[in-house]
A and B are shown apart, each in its own frame.
Chain A
Amino acid sequence: MNPDLFRQFMLSAANPEQRDQLRERLIADQDLSDQLRDQETDWIDAYAAGTLPPADARALYQHLQQTGQLHRIPTAAALAKRKSQSASVFPYALGLAATLLLVFTAVFHQPRSKAPEPLPQITLALVPGALRDASATQSVTAKNNQPILLQLQYQDTAPQGECHVEIAGQPFGEDAPCGLDFHPYTLPPDLAPGRYTLKLTTPKGELIHTYQLTLKKEVP
């Protein structure tokens, strides 16, 4: 099996002769047709899980758009969510008795129960505008609900007054005074993995800068 068959197929769109030959093979050979469909599905699953490199994610999305297959993404996303949940259930089940024992012991040996340790904050400086090339998009990997502080860098001078942040065209968070060297912005903790465009604007909606960010979530 050719592991890059799907990539080759997408690239072959630019070469009509090669495309024609491949089309004939796809009509003739059930296994080849299944392999291509299988790899296409695996790409969709990787896209939904947020593990596809940004350039591939963009190529795949365009392919799905052009072939009228965007409706396949929700199934992949639901399977990815199910997978991450079941991956986290098993260790919990194994450790359940031990955890209960520890909690029971703690109740009798400590005057107060301890709250779970908060996850450490991740800080990332984001450079504006120029990084529109998907391969150069900055990315961050975090655990679920782990706080991520973005330092939205300015191109030259700091803007005056209040700053407003939009993610993928939607406002997130309150307007806040623009920082001196960068604008500090904490990402919503429940933001799903994916590639995002952030806009820094004035409260009136005048664009200051745009930023690209790929968010990945660590599977527990």
Chain B
Amino acid sequence: MSPQWALSAEAFSGLLAALHPDRDQAALRYEDLRTRLVRVFLWEHAIDPEALADDALTRLARRLEEGEQIQNLPAFLNGIARNLLKEESNRRHRLEPLTDLPAPVSNHDIEREHAALESCLATWEPDKRQLLLAYYQGDQSARIQGRQRLAAQLGLELNALRNRALRLRDRLEACIRKQLERDIPPESFTQFRRGQ
């Protein structure tokens, strides 16, 4: 594929149409598909999962525009993902096996993280705050039953509750990260994030 090829409005519309005939539904499916691709690239240790997910969708749109008949979309996208991962394999994180866990977090850091959490949660709507705290309550074994009860209370399927909680968790993590970055110089934060 030529690196100069850019995603046109027509090609993007073609991609949406392949996902669902209704444009609003197609937009939702596109967002979900992109989220799944970002996670896949993240879990495959890619340096920039967001960029790779966009690259994969752009390649898919181009193949559709060229008239490719795709029978199995996930298998086709996985093929694109495989190629992209191969192309950037030399850039991926390469780390020595871990022999020891890192130095413990100081009490000062724990207090700072806790303050960031409270500050983030304070800006949330009460129902969202309660849902997040209830979902992540208890230890691993207690959580399964607690979440089933919570889903029943809210009249949701467990899958729908999980999806909602994950979005809130992502939002919380982004907020806390932003708060902590204000205090830590960007260079040190990058080192910490990448564990180098």
Which residues of B come within 8 Å of A, CB atoms? 32-33, 35-37, 39-40, 42-45, 47, 73-75, 77-78, 81-82, 93, 95, 97-107, 109-110, 113-114, 116-118, 133, 136-137, 139-140, 143-144, 158-159, 162-163, 165-166, 169, 172-173, 176-177, 180, 189, 192-195
Contact = CB atoms under 8 A, between A and B. Distances in A.
B74 A28 contact: yes
B98 A77 contact: no
B187 to A, nearest CB: 14
Contacts of B137: 83
Contacts, number: 150
Contacts of B36: 26-27, 30, 33
A197 B100 contact: yes
Interface size grouping (class) on chain A: 35 or more
Interface in A56-94: 57-58, 61-62, 64-72, 74-75, 77-79, 81-83
Contact of A169 (B103, B105, B107, B173): B103
Contacts of A75: 113, 117, 169, 172-173, 176-177
A41 interface: yes
Contacts of B37: 27
Nearest to B80: A27
A192 interface: yes
A160 interface: no
Given A23-B78, A66-B95, A79-B117, A49 B139 contact: yes
A70 B177 CA distance: 11
Contact of B39 (A33, A49, A66): A33
A9 interface: yes
Contacts of A191: 104
A62 B42 contact: no
A194 interface: yes
17 contacts: A24-B78, A30-B32, A38-B166, A41-B166, A45-B140, A58-B98, A61-B101, A61-B102, A62-B97, A66-B95, A67-B93, A71-B192, A74-B176, A74-B177, A81-B110, A81-B113, A83-B137
